[in-house]
Structure 1
Amino acid sequence: MSNQPSTLKAQLETLRQEGISAIAAADSLDRLEELRVVYLGKKGQLSGLLRSMGQLSAEERPQIGAIANVVKEALQDELENQRQKLQAAAIQAQLKAETIDVTMPGVYRPLGRVHPLHSTMDRVLDIFVGLGYTVAQGPEMETDYYNFEALNFQPDHPARDMQDTLFLPDGNLLRTHTSNVQIHYMEDNDPPVRVAIPGRCYRRDTVDATHAAVFHQIEILAIDEGLTFTDLKGTVKIFLQELFGDSPIRFRASYFPFTEPSAEVDVQWKGRWLEVMGCGMVDPNVLKAVGYDPEVYTGFAAGMGVERLAMVLHEIDDIRRFYNSDLRFLQQF
């Protein structure tokens, strides 16, 4: 019995030295956890030594217990110190791995360009916004009422024919113009009205150099007391001169179901007349359809194809070039 305490003391000191040395050499948090279990776990080496204390006398147990506590605290302190070192090292390694080297050349990504159709629309809308118009948009799938009936199209009008309009199985259709938004907007707003309406339209056209089944329009609508055809002509003239410069302009009598009187507008461009838009005074039946009193309010509307304007402005010979996604073409703009 007399040799038992000295033997335990020596074993505890050996355990402390070996444990501290092994913990200091641990190179990962997982390895550190393994060493904690080996030395301080319920079935670890320290617990194994303490179980032999039952063979000691009552006077010897407190002495060995005190030494065991010192060893346990020394191992726990070393475990915590090493854990902090490994965590700090891991953070530094992550920072180093994620640090951006600002001296390295960047990854080149070519800048995108605005499509010529969108740039033309933006250019047109900027002019009308400068004249006090608000930009409005509406549905591309439409009912017969908003696309035709409320715009004074008679039941036998050719535009209602299946050969001209893309009808859907549920009886709705793909709008043939952005004029449908005029009706929606007037239903929701009281006069005075100044609105510009851009968007896609759809017609059953055979695709060729000047026609497409999907195209873009911009229309304007102005409703107020006392508006006349003179106001319409002045607005159109200012717009076209801003877009094309000081080019001669002419109005030709025409017909649209939703305007009366109506006109086509031509611009003299490179020595020849080009039709660029249609316009007219809003038909009283259209005003009645939205609850406006035609005895009090008058108005005018005008519409233009964006593709036509873009082809003139950029001297493009084929409308299909806008839709082919050919970078050789698009990178010119």
Structure 2
Amino acid sequence: MNRVIGERDLDETPYGDEEAIALYRDVVRTRRFDERALALQRRGWMSGYPPYKGQEASQVGAAHALAGDDWLVPTYRSNAMQIAFGVPMSDILLFRRGYAEYTSGHDLNVFPQAVPIATQIPHAAGIGMAANYADDDAAVCCYFGDGATSEGDFHEGLNFAGVFEAPVVFFCENNDWAISLPREKQTASDTIAQKAEAYGFSGTQVDGNDPLAVRETVSEALESAREGEPVLVESLTYRQGAHTTSDDPSRYREERDDLPEWRTADPLERYETYLREQGLLDDELAETIEAEADDELAEAVDTAEEAPAPERDEIFDHVYAERTPRLEEQKAWLESFTEEHDVQELEH
């Protein structure tokens, strides 16, 4: 099943005014976060950062489809999705500064960000299988980019989900580039969504720059997953900036004239125009939402800057529920090493 839902009048969607504005609020929040995080990285505040400008509507729409007891399995570029799901901005900022990922102590069903490409996909299948064994109604949403579909973990994870009817939605955000490699050089398949057929379940495409369409599509996919039918959702969007702050897209990417405007247009501008045409948004409300986002972000930066330096032992505390013998050996080695060397020299 492949489809692209374009923009419709709000009364043709399952959502009302409040839900439409809530999506806009989170698109604004996550755009502001991305802009501020990029600026902070450029001044040396954090070592690296993966921008997601152009993908906010896709991630926010998917996050709003999740129920409170569902599980989100993210990657390093899913910051917008995590924020919209409720993860504090300060947690994500602190993670980028080397702290443990759950500094705030939140109890949301969110796994740690997976930085190696596609390694989280088999984990997501396993979480879904565990939910089945525990007779749990929760579903799993696993986020990854189109480049991850070229990894073996993608095929293994989808195969397990199909065989064991795991309640998993595999949410592939196709931004048309895997770092410097365009999609057509990754796969000969006409779509990524159609790859699901090889594993015995359905795939579908959605206009990733329409948050209402993404929310509806992912909501339907989650309901299917709860009934034992996994789904692969291909969200068609476009990465406007660099892959990471160490990337220079001008070396390999030219303007894509072959992609439709709905896919390359700025999703925030597009959705704002849509809401104004629907009579739901005016200058006063837009300014209020932007001001609230800026205040939240300023508080998050303050929280991150005021956080005490992490203890060295914390690097060993979040690998397993209990330290393994190997971790104990590594911890003992680090302790002896720091005793023999000047702490300031080590930190430098």
Q: TM-score, normalised by structure 1?
A: 0.23
Structure with the higher fraction of residues in helix conformation: 2
* Higher normalized contact order (CA 8 Å, seq sep 6+, divided by chain length): 2
Normalized per residue, the structure richer in strand is 1
In terms of Rg, which structure is larger? 1
Return the TM-score normalized by structure 2: 0.23
